[in-house]
Amino acid sequence: MQVSMKVNGEEVTREIEPRVLLVHFIREELGLTGTHWGCDTTNCGTCVVLLDGQPVKSCTVLAASAHGHEVRTVEGLASNGSLDPVQQGFMAEHGLQCGFCTPGMMLTARALLDKNPHPDELQIRQAISGQICRCTGYATIVRSVQWAAEHPAAAGDPPGTGTDEEDVRA
Amino acid sequence: MQIPAAFDYVRASSIDDALALLQQHGPESRVLAGGHSLLPMMKLRLARPEWLIDINELTELDYIRRDADVLRIGAMTRHTTLLESPDVGRLFPIVRDAEQVIADPVVRNRGTIGGSLCQADPAEDLSTVCKVLRAEAVIRGPNGERVLRMDEFHRGPYETALEQTELLCEVRLPVRQRSGSAYEKVERRVGDWAVAAAGAAVALAPDGTIEDAAVGLTAVGLEGTATEAETLLRGKRPAEELFAEAGRAAAAACDPVADQRGPVDYKRHLADELTRRVLRRACGRAGAEREG
């Protein structure tokens, strides 16, 4: 069957089997391997992408169901060469260690901040409660999202690459 | 890699179209709502439909409408929508209680009330919630519409009264005066199935006694509601000792099975304790002055 959807703003069309899951469509048909594939059982949340702006576990959505809809993956977070504030927050606050859960965490964070620009710590923890970080990095992930909330217009050079003295020291 | 067995896929464009497709493709076709129960079962090959009829485009089934004495919820209403609805939270706090502990926030963006009720997993929360709220299921089929009480709709684990050619379209929750409701679940971690859960709904008489009560349990082998507990509660004044009696009656009525989530004794203990807690909270929400 033929499916068409908008992925990171770009219209894509592919011929697929109906049983292809969205995560495999994204990774294998489109080659966007930033979306990770983990537990296969809707538990770990590393495959989270935004479907029409809402975080969903793409291992449990048929690519066919996404036909005619908009998908945003981690590759679509940065715009015009600038990292999203969420991505900058994960850098600034060391929100990742191995990085496996990071794409899903960042997309959930983006959706949370779009809906609620000033979440408290509990709201952040609840928002990511369906996603697992096996480096036990939850505290820094929460701080990364808080950083992004405090720097909503931080789009620009990522921290550490500019000439800011503090960054250079870091 | 978990991939479903091959199937053919078709998207329904309207309720009538979905009904026609169910007729056309027969017993080997299944309706795909949010897919968060069906797709995992298909990946494990516990379900192998030949046809999937996707109803995710039927936005006409995604609504929450308040009529005079009933709240109408479309079958494709997502869990997140239910959780965030002020009407639902105010009129039926039990739904909000349950939705906060159904799976996790990302799963709730996709899963639907209709899908949950039709899957009828024994550890599924909304079946208990709908039973104690004395909800009705509005079903459409080739011969028109029929309305079933939730205890008629839900026949047991993985079994409902829905015929293969029918579609659950709406859930109706009756709005009652001086009523309160609550749900509480014990789970091992976020998103896990319940070890046990309890739900209660009460309506108070003008004199403050319990006019009507419903008590339900999840994941501990209780069919229908805990009728002995309900009989104990009716006509009495809300009180700690009464809740304890009802808790014991509910625990005696259930029939839990030992599994990796716990032994029988523990589950029965939870049935008792959780029943007391939800009755306490439901009566409080109904505005009861509690004795003892």
β-strand partners of B30: B52
β-strand partners of B109: none
The answer regarding whether domain B59-174 maps to CATH 3.30.465.10 reads yes
Alpha carbon separation from B44 to A41, A72, B107, B243 (Å, rounded): 10, 28, 18, 42
Measured between beta carbons, which residues in chain A are less than 8 angstroms from residue B8? 18
Separation of alpha carbons B267 and B220, rounded Å: 7
**Residue boundaries of the structural domains of chain B:** 8-54, 59-174, 179-285
Q: What is the mean pLDDT of residues B218-241?
A: 97
- Distance, in angstroms, between A49 CA and closest chain B CA? 10
Give domain B8-54's CATH architecture.
Answer: 2-Layer Sandwich (3.30)
Whether pLDDT at B99 is above 60: yes
Measured between beta carbons, which residues in chain A are less than 8 angstroms from residue B7? 18-19
Measured between beta carbons, which residues in chain B are less than 8 angstroms from residue A41? 2, 40, 43
Give domain B179-285's CATH architecture.
Answer: 2-Layer Sandwich (3.30)
Q: What is the mean pLDDT of residues A86-115?
A: 97
Evaluate whether B273 touches B266 at the Cβ level (below 8 Å).
no
Which chain A residues touch B if contact means CB-CB below 8 Å?
Answer: 1, 17-19, 21, 24, 40-43, 45, 48, 54-57, 59-62, 64-65, 67-68, 108, 126-127, 129-131
A162 pLDDT band, cuts 50/70/90, is very low
How high is the pLDDT of residue B111?
98
B190 pLDDT band, cuts 50/70/90, is confident
A155 pLDDT band, cuts 50/70/90, is low
How high is the pLDDT of residue A2?
98
- Interface probe, candidates B25, B106, B109, B192, chain A, greatest A C-beta count within 10 A: B106
Are A56 and B103 an interchain contact pair (Cβ–Cβ within 8 Å)?
no
Tokens 């292809």 map to which residue?
A: A20
- Distance, in angstroms, between A14 CA and closest chain B CA? 15
- Interface probe, candidates A17, A39, A62, A114, chain B, greatest B C-beta count within 10 A: A62
Structure tokens, B90? 């105010």
How high is the pLDDT of residue A5?
98
Separation of alpha carbons B91 and B178, rounded Å: 10
Closest-CA residue of A relative to B191 is A130
Are A130 and B9 an interchain contact pair (Cβ–Cβ within 8 Å)?
no
Average pLDDT, chain A: 92
How high is the pLDDT of residue A124?
98
**Nearest C-alpha neighbor of A60 from the set B39, B106, B113:** B39
Which residues, in sequence order, are CB contacts of B60 under 8 Å at separation 6+? B14, B15, B74
Q: How many CA atoms are closer than 13 Å to the CA of A14, on its beta-carbon side?
A: 21
pLDDT in tens, A115-126: 999 999 999 999
Evaluate whether A108 touches A147 at the Cβ level (below 8 Å).
no
**How many contacts, defined by CB atoms under 8 Å, are there between A and B?**
81
A157 pLDDT band, cuts 50/70/90, is low
Residue B65 CB coordination number (10 Å) = 12
pLDDT in tens, B46-72: 999 999 999 999 999 999 999 999 999
Whether pLDDT at B175 is above 90: yes
How high is the pLDDT of residue B192?
85
Closest-CA residue of B relative to A48 is B106
Measured between beta carbons, which residues in chain B are less than 8 angstroms from residue A127? 105
Are B2 and A41 an interchain contact pair (Cβ–Cβ within 8 Å)?
yes
More confident: B263 or A137: B263
User: ipTM of this predicted complex?
Assistant: 0.93
Q: What is the mean pLDDT of residues B137-151?
A: 97
Are B106 and A60 an interchain contact pair (Cβ–Cβ within 8 Å)?
no
Q: Is the minimum CB–CB distance between B164 and chain A shorter than 8 Å?
A: no
Whether pLDDT at B288 is above 80: no
- Interface probe, candidates A15, A27, A35, A60, chain B, greatest B C-beta count within 10 A: A60
How high is the pLDDT of residue B289?
67
Measured between beta carbons, which residues in chain A are less than 8 angstroms from residue B106? 45, 48, 55-57, 108, 130-131
How high is the pLDDT of residue A159?
52
How high is the pLDDT of residue A167?
43
pLDDT in tens, B124-133: 999 999 999 9
Classify B156 as helix, strand or coil: strand
B16 pLDDT band, cuts 50/70/90, is very high
pLDDT in tens, B247-271: 999 999 999 999 999 999 999 999 9
Separation of alpha carbons B228 and B231, rounded Å: 5
Are A40 and B35 an interchain contact pair (Cβ–Cβ within 8 Å)?
no
Closest-CA residue of A relative to B40 is A41
B193 pLDDT band, cuts 50/70/90, is confident
Measured between beta carbons, which residues in chain A are less than 8 angstroms from residue B54? 62, 64-65
Tokens 């899963």 map to which residue?
A: B111
Q: What's the CA dihedral at A81, A86, A89, A90 to 10 degrees?
A: -90
Instruction: Please report, rounded to a whole number, the percentage of residues in chain A having pLDDT higher than 90.
Output: 87
- Interface probe, candidates A36, A43, A50, chain B, greatest B C-beta count within 10 A: A43
- Distance, in angstroms, between B111 CA and closest chain A CA? 10
- Interface probe, candidates A35, A42, A47, chain B, greatest B C-beta count within 10 A: A42
How high is the pLDDT of residue A165?
42
- Distance, in angstroms, between B7 CA and closest chain A CA? 7
Whether pLDDT at A114 is above 60: yes
The domains of chain A, with CATH numbers, are 2-76 (3.10.20.30), 85-155 (1.10.150.120)
